[in-house]
Amino acid sequence: MKKISLRPKPFEFYTASDLWNDEHISEQMLASHLNGENDFASRNTMFIERSVKWISSFFKVGAGTKIADFGCGPGLYTTRLGRIRADVTGIDLSARSIQYAKDTATDERLSIKYVNQNYLEYETDERFDIILLIYHDFGVLSPSQRRILLSKFRTFLKPDGYICLDVPSLKAFGKRKEVVVYEPNLDSHFWSPNKYHGFLNTFKYERKKLILDKYTVIEANGTRVIYNWQQYYSPEMLEKEFALCRLKINHFFSDVAGSKFDSENKEFAVVAQKI
């Protein structure tokens, strides 16, 4: 129990590959992505439709507009953008999600390029009009990983290209609390098809505005620990990180559907360009 309750240093451990490529967990994640009624893994279908409509309008997306969606999952955005004839590339760590996205593109005869890779390692000679990173993916990365990714974005952008991403706000951080939860087969067998003891320890790092949800899964054949980090932001914090990578935020919104910025909102979205 002492080990389960141990608080790691910020971003001391990183287990994204376990989350996205474990055979059972990746199946559960895909099912959650495709459940259009909730916002667990992806946003609900109605929001995604509004978001794609806003992105298409705000950035004047048309035939041939080159778009890269980092962390594209099963193609919920890329498929819709492909339908309006944008030139789309999707990058994602989950082989299962990428295969689903590819199958959808084949079924709909959409010319979309998909890359199954950790986007921190992605390299390309292509240059994009728009780079997307949607549903708080930026904040799950450590500070050094975020610098790597922003530097890549700057390289991959056309001179007048745009970055669009969203992050959770400090208002949301203020509502998070440290908790300890124990439950047999925690989250209804989400973490394993076998019987297990599931522990969730939520740690709050007040000074850094950081949350860790640490899942410990104890099965008959061993123990696994999954670390879900999330960095929370003020607009000033995000502007500072972007500026260090020679990127400037031009617009703030409450979400990636273009809602007017509200400092009381639990998240916010930004549009940025090269300096």
Statement: residue 40 has pLDDT above 90? no
Domain span at residue 111 reads 21-168+233-274
- Whether residues 240 and 125 share a domain: the answer is yes
Query: pLDDT band at residue 16, thresholds of 50, 70 and 90?
Result: confident
Same domain, 32 and 128: yes
Q: Is residue 202 part of a domain?
A: yes
Tell me how far CA of residue 222 lies from CA of 133, 177, 226, 265, in angstroms.
35, 29, 14, 41
Residue 2: inside a domain, yes or no?
no
Do 255 and 213 share a structural domain?
no
pLDDT value, residue 19: 78
Say whether both 35 and 156 belong to one domain.
yes
Tens-place pLDDT, residues 217-258: 999 999 999 999 999 999 999 999 999 999 999 999 999 999
> Are 207 and 132 members of one domain?
no
| pLDDT band for position 17 (cuts 50, 70, 90) | confident
pTM recorded for the entire structure: 0.96
In order, the DSSP letters of 73-99 are TTTTTHHHHHHTT-EEEEEES-HHHHH
Specify if 86 maps to a domain. yes
Q: Measured between alpha carbons, how far is 80 from 49 in angstroms, rounded to an integer?
A: 8
Question: 136 with 269, same domain?
Answer: yes
Q: Which CA distances in Å does 17 have to 21, 94, 133, 192, 226?
A: 6, 8, 18, 16, 10
Report the C-alpha gap between 45 and 18 in whole angstroms.
27
Distance CA 275, CA 84 (A): 30
Domain count, the chain: 2
- Sign of the CA dihedral running 102, 105, 109, 115: negative
Mean pLDDT of 73-87: 98
Whether residue 13 is contained in a domain is answered as: no
